[in-house]
Chains A and B, each alone.
Chain A
Amino acid sequence: MTAAADLAPSYELVVIGGGPAGLAAAALAARAGVSTVLFDENPGVGGQIYRAITSTPVRSRAILGEDYWDGAALADEAKASGALIVNGATVWSLDRQRLVGVSLGGKARLIEAGRVIIATGSQERPFPIPGWTLPGVMTAGAAQTALKAQGLVVGGRTVLAGSGPLLWLLAAQTLRAGGRIDAILDTTPRRNWLQAMLHLPDFALSPYFAKGLALLREVRAKVPVHRAATIEAVGTDRVREVVFSGAGGTRRLPVDLLLLHQGVVPNVNLANAAGVAHVWNDRQLCFVPVLDAEFGSSVPGIAVAGDGAGIAGGTAAAERGRIAAIAAVRALKPQAAVPDTQAIRQRLQREEMGRAFLDCLNRPADSFRLPEGDTIACRCEEVTAKQVRETAQMGCEGPNQMKAFLRCGMGPCQGRLCGLTVTELIAAERKTTPDEVGYYRLRPPVKPITLAELASLPISEAERKAVER
């Protein structure tokens, strides 16, 4: 185990995040002779898609699917490359001078980076429905984490609700592992199919086409699927029922666990706090960093690879990581041999082919992104949709002003669970675009650190003298 004291004060390349993009980037750069450290906050590498790939207790390969086990090769490759891979390392700060704040075993360090590749991936899109803060309501991703890392399958009466490929994947994985799913509430608006069909020819050529169809068939054979236009989690102390409306009117299902998921969006917090420019992507309904062809951001020396650069899936993430790493190697060690980017780009293009279809099909309905009334928008500070809407109507033009009025986005989650909701609500009320409204300006630490950790930061001699006068 690497300890904070073992870290060098600087590395040529710092890779943040140990999912497919980070693993592939670190492996490529280290093999080219670049001094590389990869910080990952989990106990083992893999990110979310290959979570616990080196340690999962789930033995049967069929349960998590063959695609999951692809992660093992990436992990091995990174390990063999000579990159220093540090798990349990939380990166809480990155700035435009490429100073990386990281905590490890309760100790904080500042590490200078020649180049940085942010590979912090995606997060689940907020799903603000009435009752979503009740105990017993979780994200599907949280359930998948428990399955991969601990081999735990959900128990009790379980309903999955939402849309997107990962919802169906989790359903299949849960069923294969012997878990119970009583119903799936499919929130995909029917009209999405019209938009999506335009992109069907490309999707039919993508690797996701056959896999997706097989997954749908597998799950539908075992679980009743209802279409839902509205969903509400009902209960006082915890969720007791899920109430939904569909073609057949309003229905209620008793439930012990309600798992929500409506796709993933880039996790922008670290890049945003580092000053990386972002732009609204209307097809994916989220902010994405502004990047060049090598995934370089608006801040010199900082690249964003993987799903953090826009959602494209795990295989594409690895290819993006390689392209970003090649750019880093070329900048740091122009003489070093690197793989041909042409072949990598071709593979990436193939992976990205079906994306337009998936984005259009799985675009969540307005009613699941733009809550109303007393539905909570910001969980940390318990701010309702109505409060956000009214404050916007009063003249509040952006999320940063909204923070000051309502404290939304100022809790420990740093806006991860409300940022997109608040931006979209303001845009809707003020009849403008999310791009115009913008996103929270995020402040480090992007992950909370304790006062003790911060106090443990070594302080340079010059700094000590300057302060003590």
Chain B
Amino acid sequence: MARAADVVVIGGGIHGCSTALHLALRGLKPILIEKDYAGRHASGVNAGGVRQLARDLHEIPLSISSMDLWERIEELVGDDCGFDAHGTVLVAENEAELAGFRERVEDLRLRGFEHEELIDASELRRLVPAVSERCPGGVVSRRDGAADPFRTTQAFRRRAVEKGAEVIEGVTVTGLSRSGANWRVETTDGDFEAPKIVNAAGAWADRIAAMLGEPVPLAVVAPMLMVTSRLAAFIKPVVILRGRKLSFKQLENGTVVIGGGHLSTPYRDSNETVLDWEKLAISARTVWELFPAMHQATIVRAWAGIEAYMPDGIPVVGRSSTSEGVFHQFGFSTHGFQLGPGTGAVMAELVATGSTNTPIDGLGIERFAAK
């Protein structure tokens, strides 16, 4: 006998958990199926950046709606998720970069987006005193910040369950088929039936899409991060670069998380990643040049979380192009953590009402259909 739900959500990352919560808040009964445990992969082990800055135009509305939820995250999930809003600063390493940033900020303003703000060298030094003297300025998004990724994902999971969602972990989806008006979701632990399905399966989402005859060119990636031992507090905002890959954040406890998108080798069938130390050495050199204060720092751990990267670097959010009642929410391309709260709300709205007030144009899966 298949277990019945209003919606089956596949994948227990921040997106699946957020969608399950928002569906439950709308009075629907979601069942979330996760092959490992909630937050096991990228959602639990990413850099924790909560960033509107430097986003693709297509995802800015989602990012802004997410930011509104981040700012009342404790009210939403009953946990502050370690969120602090010290801003994100995009540092220009030279005048040419700064000129490019100026154009971008002006373009955003014409489109009505004001979260990115150009800053000169003195404001940069005020926000990030430790940064190298030669950087001429940058861009700040002052409402941005960072949160604890695993704690956040778990908080969404916990609140979703409190609001009536069922979360089933350690169970893998093995097949999808129609069963009258419903979808039948076959798993390693029996069948489930629901009229609607949300595919939030991250690095494994292409396998779900393939079950629907909707192949999608998803790359499995695992961006690397490393963390230092504790240092005296010297930097508040998250710092990112454009020309070279770097994201840089000092946590409350003094440790510094260094990331930026250098990739390891992922093995998605065994949940393993093999780190690429040559690339981490490049990160170490970048940090070395940018932050003299870091010269004595000790690296205590490096890791990578497995996730999906789309060819155009932006996510897939919206209806299936082949299958009525199926929705996609994956492919966040190494920047999906901040989008989790808001995209879950938008997805729940789309599933429940058939449409959404937040624009998601350009994010549909049909953009990958064979031409």
Contacts and interface: CB of A to CB of B under 8 A. Distances in A.
A457 B37 contact: no
Contacts of B358: none
Interface string B82-115: 0000000000000000000000000000000000
A449 B151 CA distance: 28
Interface in A180-231: none
A456 B253 CA distance: 27
A451 B278 contact: no
Interface in A445-463: 445, 448-452, 454-457, 459-460, 463
B302 interface: yes
A105 interface: no
Given A414-B300, A450-B297, A450-B298, A455 B277 contact: no
A413 to B, nearest CB: 9
A448 B275 contact: no
Given A410-B301, A445-B299, A448-B299, A457 B277 contact: yes
A386 interface: no
B281 A455 contact: yes
Contact of B150 (A97, A404, A411, A451): A404
A101 B275 CA distance: 11
Given A96-B274, A97-B274, A449-B299, A454 B151 contact: no
Nearest to A109: B277
B301 A454 contact: no
B357 interface: no
A110 interface: yes
B296 A457 contact: no
Contact of B275 (A95, A450, A467): A95
A301 interface: no
Contact of A454 (B37, B39, B299): B299
A230 to B, nearest CB: 33
A24 B282 CA distance: 38
A110 B277 contact: yes
A452 B295 contact: yes
B279 interface: yes
Contacts of B154: 401, 404-405
Contact of A455 (B262, B279, B288): B288
A444 interface: yes
Contacts of A412: 229, 298, 300
Contact of B285 (A101, A405, A449, A455): A455
A420 B151 CA distance: 23
A112 interface: no
Contacts of A457: 277-278, 281, 284
B281 A454 contact: yes
A397 interface: yes
A275 interface: yes
Interface string B204-230: 000000000000000000000000110
B278 A405 contact: no
Interface residues of B, number: 36
B341 interface: no
Contact of B301 (A97, A108, A445): A445
Interface in B252-281: 253, 262, 272, 274-275, 277-281
B136 interface: no
Nearest to A445: B299
B72 interface: no
B23 interface: no
Nearest to B40: A400
Interface in A410-469: 410-412, 414, 443-445, 448-452, 454-457, 459-460, 463, 467
A267 interface: no
Nearest to B39: A404
Contacts of A93: 275, 277
A69 B188 CA distance: 58
A459 B288 contact: no
Contacts of B151: 404-405
B351 interface: no
Contacts of B281: 108, 454-457, 459
Contact of B300 (A96, A101, A110, A445): A445
Contacts of B295: 451-452
Interface string B300-342: 1111000000000000000000000000000000000000000
A116 B260 CA distance: 32
Contacts of A459: 278, 281-282
B279 A467 contact: yes
Interface string B148-183: 101100100000000000000000000000000000
Contacts of A460: 278
Given A445-B299, A452-B288, A404 B44 contact: yes
Given A95-B274, A404-B44, A460-B278, A451 B37 contact: no
B31 interface: no
Contacts of B277: 93, 99, 101, 108, 110, 454, 457
B294 interface: yes
A457 B276 CA distance: 12
A198 B284 CA distance: 57
B228 to A, nearest CB: 7
B229 A275 contact: no
B287 interface: yes
Contacts of B303: 443
Given A404-B154, A445-B302, A450-B298, A463 B279 contact: yes
A448 B300 contact: yes
Contacts of B44: 404
B287 A451 contact: yes
B95 to A, nearest CB: 19
Given A459-B282, A460-B278, A463-B278, A450 B300 contact: no
Contact of A467 (B148, B245, B288, B299): B245
Contacts of B229: 412, 448
A314 to B, nearest CB: 31
B314 to A, nearest CB: 20
A160 B279 CA distance: 48
A168 B37 CA distance: 45
Contacts of B262: 467
Contacts of B279: 463, 467
What 9 pairs between A and B have smallest CB-CB spacing?
A404-B150, A457-B281, A454-B284, A455-B284, A448-B298, A443-B301, A443-B303, A95-B274, A451-B297
Interface of B: 37, 39, 44, 148, 150-151, 154, 228-229, 244-245, 253, 262, 272, 274-275, 277-282, 284-285, 287-288, 294-303
23 contacts: A95-B275, A101-B277, A404-B39, A404-B148, A404-B150, A404-B154, A405-B151, A410-B300, A411-B300, A412-B229, A412-B300, A443-B302, A445-B299, A445-B300, A445-B301, A445-B302, A448-B229, A448-B299, A450-B296, A451-B228, A451-B296, A451-B298, A467-B245
Given A108-B277, A444-B275, A454-B284, 8 more contacts: A93-B275, A95-B275, A96-B274, A99-B277, A404-B151, A445-B300, A451-B295, A455-B281
